[in-house]
Structure 1
Amino acid sequence: MYISFSPQRRDDALSVSRQGGILTINGDVFDFSALPEGATIAAENSPSPWITGPIEHINGKLHLTLLLPHGPGPSAVVAFPEPLVDPDDGPLDLPHDPKEVEDDLDA
C-alpha cells in the first residue's frame, strides 16, 4: 500500500487504520481488496471524501491520496508529508503536529 497525503487547513480530525486491503477512515470501512491489478477508481468516484485522488492497484499495491487536516502553522512534517509505504496493519501513524497543552493554573 502506498498512501500519499494532501495537506489541508481544517479543524476536523483524521483517523485511519488498515487491515490488508481494507481501510477504516474515521470509522467508515472501505474494502479495496477486490480491486484488480491495473484497475483505477477515478477520483470523482471515490467512496470517501477523505480520498482526494484516484485509487489505483499498481504492481500489487494499492495507491491512494488522503486529505491530511492540519491547524494553522503546520510544521514541515505536516505541510510536506512523506507518503506511507507498506504500513503495517492496525492504526496508521499519520503525520501530525503535537497538540498544544494549555496549562490549567486556575484548577
Structure 2
Amino acid sequence: MVINLSPQQRSDTLTVVRAGDALIVNGETFDFSAMGDGDTLPRAAIQSKWFDGDAEKKDGELILTLLFPMPWNYSPEQAFPVPLENVPDGPVVFPGPLPQRATEAPPEEEQ
C-alpha cells in the first residue's frame, strides 16, 4: 500500500490503521478489498472528507491520498511529506511536528 499525504494546516487529528486492503480512518472502516488490479475508485465514491483523490490498484498495490492535518508547529516532513510506501498492517505512522517548547503556546485562532 502507498499512502500519499496532502498537507493542510488545521487543528483536527487523523488516526489511520491498516488492516489488509482496508483502512480505519478516525474509527471508520474503508474496505478496498473488492478492487481488482488496474481498478480505480473515484474520489466521489469514497464517503469521507479525509480522502483526496481517487484510489487505484496497480500491480496489486493500493495507492491513495489522504488529507494530512498539520499543527501550528508543523515540521518540514509534515509540510513536504514523502509517500508512505510498503505501509504494514497496524497503526500508520505519520511524520511528527516540531517539538514544542514549554514557553510556546499555539497561536489563538481568529474569530
Q: TM-score band, normalised by the shorter chain?
A: 0.7 to 0.9
Residues 16 and 25 in structure 2, CA contact (< 8 A), matched pair in contact too: yes
Matches within 5 A, 1:40-51: 40-51=40-51
Q: Which runs of 5+ in 1 are unaligned?
A: none
Q: Which amino acid aligns with 1:59?
A: D
Q: Which runs of 5+ in 2 are unaligned?
A: 104-111
Q: Which amino acid aligns with 1:66?
A: L
Answer with 30-39 or 71-80: which moved more: 71-80
Q: Give 1:93 shift.
A: 0.4
Residue identity (%): 41
Q: Which amino acid aligns with 1:85?
A: E
Could you tell me how far apart the structure 2 residues matched to 1:25 and 1:71 are? 18
Matched, 1:3 2:3: yes
Q: Deviations over 1:56-99 (max 9, x none)?
A: 01110000000000122522100001111111110010122156
- TM-score normalized by structure 2? 0.85
Matched, 1:19 2:19: yes
Could you tell me how far apart the structure 1 residues matched to 2:99 and 2:47 are? 30
Answer with 64-73 or 19-28: which moved more: 64-73
Q: Deviations over 1:28-59 (max 9, x none)?
A: 01110111111111122223210111000111
Could you tell me how far apart the structure 1 residues matched to 2:78 and 2:18 are? 21
RMSD (CA atoms)? 1.6
- TM-score normalized by structure 1? 0.88
What count of residue pairs does the alignment treat as equivalent? 103
Q: What residue number does 2:108 align with?
A: none
